[in-house]
Homo-oligomer: A and B are copies of this chain.
């Protein structure tokens, strides 16, 4: 890769990160290019689709979340690990507004640049869920896909300005449903991490 191309790529990624954080994942690609002092075509050559751009942008976050899941699997109780990781996931999405809907679409679209990352994330959650289920701490009628869907739904809530204030509270409600034997009230499942 030529030096100027590399420089443009890096600069575009940094600019895109700022733009997505400010305006959400549906920010205009033209705006990103403009802010980077570059033509739209240059952006689209390095990242042929919006998904490709976001994949490059979120790759490290994805890796951190899966690594966190691995770590929690040995460092915490099955229940705390699961809840803590779910909370991390929902908290993370609040930084990148609008990415949830793209992830939901990507997880069954094998052509999407985000597909692999989403599948990996789902698998990480499934492992934590399995462990909690084996320990008798999570209801056994849900699987990794259900968990992914629940997290996506909660993340989506956080994306909606009118519903976001309730997202934290409702996380507790949903978490209490996932954990068997948990009494009502979110205090039971809060901040394990």
Give the B-binding residues of A (Cβ under 8 A): 101, 104-105, 107-109, 139, 141-142, 145-146, 148-150, 152-154, 156-157, 160-163, 166-167, 169-170, 173-174, 176-178, 180, 184-186
> Is B157 a contact of A105 with CB atoms below 8 Å?
no
- How far apart are the CA atoms of A178 and B148 in the complex, in Å? 20
- Tell me which of A139, A142, A152, A162 has the highest count of chain B C-beta atoms within 10 A of its own C-beta: A162
How long is the Cα–Cα vector from A86 to B109 in the complex, in angstroms?
31
CA gap between A161 and B157 in the complex, in Å: 18
Contacts of A107 in B (CB 8 A): 162
**In whole angstroms, what is the CA distance A17 to B186 when docked?**
41
Scoring A105, A161, A173 by chain B CB atoms within 10 A of each residue's CB, the highest score goes to A173
Give chain B nearest CB distance to A174 CB in angstroms. Answer: 6
A154 nearest CB across to chain B (Å): 7
- Which among B141, B153, B176, B186 is the interface contact of A157 at CB below 8 angstroms? B153
Q: List 25 A-B contacts (CB under 8 A).
A: A104-B163, A105-B160, A107-B162, A139-B184, A141-B169, A141-B184, A141-B185, A145-B163, A146-B170, A148-B163, A149-B163, A149-B166, A149-B167, A149-B170, A150-B170, A150-B173, A152-B163, A153-B153, A153-B156, A153-B157, A153-B163, A153-B170, A173-B174, A173-B178, A174-B177
Known A-B contacts A152-B157, A157-B152, A161-B108; the reply to A184 vs B180 at CB < 8 A is yes
Residues of B within 8 A of A169 (CB): 141-142, 146
In this complex, what residue of B is CB-closest to A118? B162
A128 shortest CB reach to chain B, Å: 17
CB pair A152–B146 under 8 Å, yes or no, is no
Instruction: Give the interface centre of A146, A156, A161 by most chain B CB atoms within 10 Å.
Output: A156
Q: Complex Cα distance A176/B166, Å?
A: 19
> Which residues of chain B come closer than 8 Å to A167, judged between CB atoms?
149
